[in-house]
Amino acid sequence: MPVRNKNNIDFTLLITVLVLLAIGVAMVFSASSISSFMKFNDRFYYLKSQGFFAIIGIVAMLLLSRFDYRVLGKFAGPLVLLSFVLLIAVFIPGIGHGAKGAVRWIKIGPSTMQPSEFAKFALIIFMAKSISNKREKIRSFKNGVMPYILLMGIYFVLIILEPNLSMAGSIVMITFAMLFAAGTKIIYLIGWVVPLLPAVAYIIMKKAYMLERVTSYLNPWADPLNTGYQAIQSLYALGSGGIFGLGLGNSRQKFFYIPEPQNDFIFSIIGEELGFIGTATIVILFLLLIWRGLRIALFCPDTFGCLLATGITCMVAIQATLNIAVATVSIPTTGISLPFISSGGSSLLFVMANMGILLNISKSVKTGGS
């Protein structure tokens, strides 16, 4: 008979997370040392920030790995309401913080927090709890699927107003993945995705910079010094790295060729410095994390834990896939961080907290036995 693993967390998942985190801290320093010195006269500015949040993130992960995940279900409703408040607060003068034409952050003392990161966290918990309560009703479109489409729509609108199309798209994909895992009929999912496409197309057409990203993706070399600049520089970085890379710290693209190399295009810097071996290692680590996460979801004894693990794993998978796709110019350029690796305090803290929840769920999975 299978037995429940009540004491041991998924050690493979834990090691994978810590290795990704260590690589992230090292690469943030390598990618940011030049820009950090020029902006703040301190080569270690981004390293100190990332290191601080890495430590806080590890503490959060360890605490949540000991905190019974089932209790989170009791706070599902309040978490969603709080996420709405935070998303709205972004647009309040004096509270919201903007950069490069987007207002996506809330200023908290010397640091900033991105409410959309918390929104993903709240959405996953709420959907997992609500769907586990509905059980077979999830197969109904009116009572099972429609409420989550409306919830997702509210999140989508609030986040797209920032504007942040990549994060809004992530919310849609997470919702889709969790409904699919819950057993929703495919026709219901396709039914609301199809009318969403014209809406996205309209948004892109109305926003000049979004349209430029699409056209530059189709042919970056048509405007190499403007709209196609980031994509071309990313390809230069990946191509110049070859198989083994130029060596840690030896990137040339971080010398102000790629803007903010420690953030959205850090995968390109990894490719330049550590080569194909380095980027392949990152991909393998994410695949390992996804495998362990889905395994935890598959063998979790309760529906809430299963859906919670599914949502967390899909969130990481979606975000990593989008970031790597942007760096390799497989999709139009969009701003989305690489989990565990890109610079960003709130992003790192929330993903580590989610890993703590996933580790806690792993204690309850059924292990093999006779």
- Position with higher pLDDT, 270 vs 37: 270
- Give 1's pLDDT tier (boundaries 50, 70, 90): very low
pLDDT for residue 162: 85
pLDDT for residue 100: 65
Residue owning tokens 């997470």: 174
pLDDT for residue 2: 41
User: 99-113, 135-149, 300-314 — which is least confidently predicted?
Assistant: 99-113
- Give the residue from 159, 104, 116, 53 showing the smallest Cα distance to 95: 104
What is the H or E stretch that residue 98 is in?
A: strand 96-99
- Position with higher pLDDT, 163 vs 153: 153
The pLDDT of residue 289 is above 90: yes
The SS3 assignment for 259 reads: coil
Are the beta carbons of 214 and 332 closer than 8 angstroms?
Answer: yes
- Position with higher pLDDT, 167 vs 202: 167
- Give 186's pLDDT tier (boundaries 50, 70, 90): confident
Other CB atoms within 10 A of residue 95 CB: 15
- Cβ partners under 8 Å of residue 175, min gap 6: 123, 127, 148, 149, 151, 152
Tokens matching residue 259: 């803007």
Q: How many CA within 13 A on the CB side of residue 56?
A: 14
Other CB atoms within 10 A of residue 302 CB: 14
163 upstream amide cis, omega within 30 of 0: yes
The pLDDT of residue 220 is above 90: no
The pLDDT of residue 203 is above 80: no
The span from the CA of 163 to the CA of 98, in Å, is 10
pLDDT for residue 325: 94
pLDDT for residue 282: 97
Q: Percentage of the chain surpassing pLDDT 90? A: 59
Per 3-state DSSP, what percentage of the chain is helix, strand, and coil (rounded to 5)?
70, 5, 25
Average pLDDT over residues 286-300: 96
pLDDT for residue 219: 82
pLDDT for residue 370: 34
Other CB atoms within 10 A of residue 42 CB: 12
Are the beta carbons of 45 and 36 closer than 8 angstroms?
Answer: yes
pLDDT for residue 4: 46
pLDDT for residue 6: 55
The pLDDT of residue 67 is above 70: yes
pLDDT for residue 7: 58
Most confident by average pLDDT, 73-82, 105-114, 153-162, 339-348:
73-82
pLDDT for residue 332: 87
Q: Percentage of the chain surpassing pLDDT 70? A: 95
pLDDT, the chain, mean: 88
Tokens matching residue 298: 């598959």
The span from the CA of 175 to the CA of 171, in Å, is 6
- Give 234's pLDDT tier (boundaries 50, 70, 90): very high
The pLDDT of residue 212 is above 90: no
Most confident by average pLDDT, 90-99, 116-125, 360-369:
116-125
pLDDT for residue 173: 93
User: 66-70, 199-203, 283-287, 300-304 — which is least confidently predicted?
Assistant: 199-203
User: 103-107, 296-300, 343-347 — which is least confidently predicted?
Assistant: 103-107
DSSP, res 71: G
